[in-house]
Amino acid sequence: MQCLKLFGERIAARDLDRQTPEIHIRVALMNRFNALGTVEIVRMTCT
């Protein structure tokens, strides 16, 4: 849960029905940032 706090100190929505989509958006952002920072390794062969 500490990672979620990086995007804001607390969840803005008070209603549980609105908190769920807000958390989903934050998790999607974290996953996207993680994917952008991950190195893609490509194996090459010499011919």
Given pLDDT bands bounded at 50, 70 and 90, which one contains residue 6? low
Dump pLDDT digits (tens) for 9-21.
677 778 888 888 8
| Helix, coil or strand: residue 12 | coil
Within 8 A by CB and 6+ apart from 27, the residues are 4
Enter the tokens of residue 46: 């010499």
> What percentage of the chain carries pLDDT values higher than 70?
79
Predicted pLDDT of residue 4 = 56
Least confident range from 24-28, 31-35, 37-41: namely 37-41
- The model's pTM is 0.58
